[in-house]
Structure 1
Amino acid sequence: MSVIYSRLAVASAALAMIAATSTGALAQKKYSPGATDTEIKIGNTVPYSGPASAYGVIGKSVGAYFNKVNAEGGINGRKINFISYDDGYSPPKTVEQTRKLVESDEVLLSFSSLGTPTNSAVHQYLNAKKVPQLFLATGATKWNDPKNFPWTMGWFPNYQSEARIYAKYILKEKPNGKIGILYQNDDYGKDYLKGIKDGLGAKAASMIVAEEPYETSVPTIDSQIVALKSKGADVFISITTPKFAAQSIKKAGELQWKPLFILNNVSSSVGSVIKPAGFDNAQDVISSAYAKDPTDTQWKDDKGMKDFDAFLAKYFPDANRADTNVIYGYAVAQVMAQVLKACGDDLTRENVMKQAASIKDLQIDTLLPGIKVNTSATNFAPLDQLQLMKFKGDSWQLFGDVLSGNVGG
């Protein structure tokens, strides 16, 4: 009897040990550089200076949101250490600052860094280092390429998809139009240009009467606007960053040139583009949106906008509410926080990418109704829908259905 009891006791003890070991294994915390029991380091580069400095507010907005997260207890008990450096929209500077973030600051991931040429400069480096390059503040089509660049994920509806939507609109509204295009002479501008031509299809050759590139180093694009008008264009597509977008609207107004004016989404901010250009000059300009415009009165009683206003009042009181880059930073930081929360105690870079690629119908309350965030192992484009809008009075007015240009990586 005692022998049997002893054997049972040994067996019970062994089972208890296995259970304890298994529980310990399941509860074990896993970290890559940049993550600890108390902290998550996130790196970022944006142009706080230089020709695209209007976008610097994105870094400030993201930082303010993470301050909110930290004040509310952090993510799974860990505080966010958001390290944001100025790259002046200069690719060599981006390389320098990104290497510093990875090799000196040892961040867990790079998040919401701005610019197509700048992110392109560190694209291969971050993938070689297996450092997540997440939710980039650029809509270049190439960020949706999980097969070749499994550590990089975009955010915006991609530029080619957006451009195709504009092309469809032109074909419907002005099928015999003469199109003049102003574009930034880099990957960003050329991505849009390709989308426009693809969207116009066989009619591109006959409809596009002039293309005028510009460099970000120039002080003004006035001469390009004059050239496009002189070519007889009655459709004008401005593929520009904020400084040059405002110049293009203002110069067209000074010339009393009234084409069908299309402005790319990334420069549609009322605060940083339209107001400096002059409301009178911007009447009837066409653009697109995926997020709610804080200046649009239709959202005055919207819960998402009320939460956004409460955030501004407490964590970013000096923000220009009319600048859509502020609400962009707020929204994208919300998604990043959701991804990190989903990681639990497995804060390895591999799991960060796994969770970023597993977003299903996520609704962010500052996005337009019907627009949801979705990703998968084969889809690294979190947003792929837009709604057209026209500038009237002192604000944008949405019209038509939510659209997709259906362009993959």
Structure 2
Amino acid sequence: MRRSGAPFLNLALLKIALLAGMLVSPLAQADLTFGLVAPASGGAAPLGLGMQKGIETYFAEVNAAGGVNGEKLALIARDDQYKPLQAASNTRQLVHDDKVLAAIGNVGTPTATVTIPLYNEFETLLYGAFTGAGVLRKTPPDRYVINYRASYVQETATMVNGLLEAGIKPEEIAFFTQNDSFGDAGYNGAMQALNAHGIDNTSSLAHGRFTRGTRNIHQGLASVLEEPVTPRAIIIVGTYGPAADFIREARNDLPDALFLNVSFVGSQALLDELGDLSEGVIITQVVPPLDADLPAVDDYRQALNTYAGGSEPDFISLEGYLAAKLFVEGVKAAGAEPNREAIVNGLLGLGSIDIGLAEPLSLGPNDHQASDAVWPTIIKNGRFELVEWASLLP
């Protein structure tokens, strides 16, 4: 299927195009077309736009080198505004009207919850979604769901293990989470990690919640502050807006507390929103540091300069780039004329594969998650540095 493209758009123009409802990737005469359903407007827009930028940057790099078996790659992106019903509608359009070969880089847990049944019904791949939720990681796995990134269970386990190593007591850990399947996924992951340490009274830990799509954080903050034990660390599972508001307000009552966020928060957006108040905030990442001396990260930085107008590196577009890099290996393995089933088979047949991250990734019939790696980072002087848990507290 061939589609005409347009010149490469910078991020601002990209957002305008997505707000119009649909954007065909800037890849002229594309033969292999894929889809992305993600927020390009609303509070989670930086996540969708970041994933799109990373994927399109790698597609542009591949196309400049001749494509895959001489065929160019294109991406059709639709804005779901982080709304489940809109995500379902967009998914049907991509599969039935646009006839994409697969979806790549979709964003969000509540949106994935309603679209996964559709991808299974339509026998179309959902690959590399920007979420670590368990709904995408069933046992046995759904054939048409393949993940790139580590799970929220792995991210929150990294947090819990690190906090205990730093000397924080389990009862001094609190939670502030989005009141939906996304918040539940992060919270339940932390509970599993605490249980693994032999801690059983996890239900007594302070837990505040907020409603998706709002920044009404005060009731959740009150729930945390009303508990008899003053928290020394608060694990936050939410997007950057309410997370920033919560941290800003909570610092007034808990000036010495640690604030920890899962990767979905949007690291750069959170830093920009908080400014100086971001100092010491911890965020787990599922991709390497942006300055890592790794071939894949070097390629990413160069590709941004060449194909994304010199755009600044960030963790979200890096994830999109790396996910696309692995995805294209699966497309190559699908053969000269890949169809939907061949691409699934190509990815699941990759086994162990090195894409330039020092450690190989792995996919197989019973292994639908390529990476298990988590990098905990802390904001210091406006930069993201790796956390040293043992020396984190005075």
**Do Structure 1 and Structure 2 share a fold, with TM-score over 0.5?**
yes
Shift of 1:100: 0.4
Cα separation, 2, equivalents of 1:176 and 1:211: 13
What is the match of residue 186 of structure 1? 180
What is the match of residue 281 of structure 2? 285
**Deviation by residue 1:159-182 (Cα, 9 ceiling, x = unmatched):** 112222222223332125422211
Confirm or deny that 1:307 pairs with 2:299: yes
Shift of 1:316: 0.9
- 5+ long unaligned stretches in structure 2: 1-28, 390-394
Cα separation, partners in 2 of 1:240 and 1:38, compared to 1, 3 Å:
closer
**Deviation by residue 1:366-388 (Cα, 9 ceiling, x = unmatched):** x4x44x31111111111112233
Shift of 1:219: 3.0
1:398 is aligned with what amino acid? L
TM-score, normalized by length of structure 1? 0.80
Residues 177 and 234, structure 1, Cα contact 8 Å, conserved in 2: no
Confirm or deny that 1:49 pairs with 2:37: no
Confirm or deny that 1:205 pairs with 2:201: yes
Shift of 1:318: 6.0
Cα separation, partners in 2 of 1:236 and 1:333, compared to 1, 3 Å:
same
Residues 191 and 202, structure 2, Cα contact 8 Å, conserved in 1: no
Confirm or deny that 1:394 pairs with 2:382: yes
Confirm or deny that 1:103 pairs with 2:96: yes
Residues 287 and 375, structure 2, Cα contact 8 Å, conserved in 1: no
**Deviation by residue 1:9-50 (Cα, 9 ceiling, x = unmatched):** xxxxxxxxxxxxxxxxxxxxxxxxxxxx97111011010012
Residues 48 and 88, structure 1, Cα contact 8 Å, conserved in 2: yes
Cα separation, partners in 2 of 1:204 and 1:75, compared to 1, 3 Å:
same
- 5+ long unaligned stretches in structure 1: 1-36, 402-409
Q: SS where residue 378 of structure 2 aligns?
A: strand
Shift of 1:139: 0.8
Cα separation, 1, equivalents of 2:162 and 2:131: 23
Cα separation, partners in 2 of 1:217 and 1:142, compared to 1, 3 Å:
closer
Cα separation, partners in 2 of 1:142 and 1:168, compared to 1, 3 Å:
same
- Identify which of 315, 318, 341 aligns with 2:332: 341
Q: How many residues align?
A: 355
What is the match of residue 354 of structure 2? 363
Residues 241 and 273, structure 2, Cα contact 8 Å, conserved in 1: no
2:224 is aligned with what amino acid? L
Q: SS where residue 37 of structure 2 aligns?
A: strand
Cα separation, partners in 2 of 1:275 and 1:363, compared to 1, 3 Å:
farther
**Deviation by residue 1:103-145 (Cα, 9 ceiling, x = unmatched):** 1111111111111111111111111111111121111123223
Equivalent residue runs for 1:188-267 within 5 Å: 188-201=182-195, 202-205=198-201, 208-231=204-227, 232-255=230-253, 257-267=255-265
Equivalent residue runs for 1:57-72 within 5 Å: 57=49, 58-72=51-65
**Deviation by residue 1:270-305 (Cα, 9 ceiling, x = unmatched):** x211232124x23333332332332x4xx4x65544
Which has the larger Rg? 1
Question: Kindly, what percent of the aligned residue pairs are identical?
Answer: 23
Cα separation, partners in 2 of 1:148 and 1:198, compared to 1, 3 Å:
closer
Q: SS where residue 361 of structure 2 aligns?
A: coil
**Deviation by residue 1:380-401 (Cα, 9 ceiling, x = unmatched):** 1111122333332222222469
2:306 is aligned with what amino acid? K
Q: SS where residue 68 of structure 1 aligns?
A: helix
What is the match of residue 175 of structure 1? 169
Cα separation, 2, equivalents of 1:187 and 1:219: 17
Cα separation, 1, equivalents of 2:60 and 2:202: 53
Shift of 1:362: 2.5
Shift of 1:61: 2.6
Residues 373 and 383, structure 1, Cα contact 8 Å, conserved in 2: yes
**Deviation by residue 1:69-124 (Cα, 9 ceiling, x = unmatched):** 22221111111121110000001001111100011111111111111111111111
Q: SS where residue 363 of structure 2 aligns?
A: coil
Cα separation, partners in 2 of 1:375 and 1:305, compared to 1, 3 Å:
closer
Shift of 1:346: 4.5
Shift of 1:236: 0.8
- Identify which of 23, 31, 35 aligns with 1:39: 31
